[in-house]
Amino acid sequence: MKSTSHIHTRRKIVNITSGSGSYPAPGMSSYCSAKAGLNMFTQCVGLEQQNQPNPVEVIAVIPGMVDTEMQAIARSKDEQSLGMAQQFRYMKQGN
């Protein structure tokens, strides 16, 4: 942000987050914690930028469930190792 503060144009940071940052999921504590941290970071930086002469807009986007490699791995797990594995398989079946 400092390196572009002299540029007088709209500046924006878009963070990709997840519903997992707000809702705990068994077996996903690290992922949920990282996304919760990203959400708070986004909010804090947004507040810090409000009173700057050329503020950077900071937003966090929750795209919803996306069929990624991480989802494929989650679907391959059993419920013992990932409590939400069956839900991920169900969501994939329902597109």
> Which positions are annotated as active-site residues?
31
What are the distances in angstroms from CA 80 to CA 58, 68, 74, 91?
A: 38, 22, 12, 19
- Could you identify the residue written with the tokens 């992922």? 31
The enclosing H or E element of 44 equals: helix 29-49
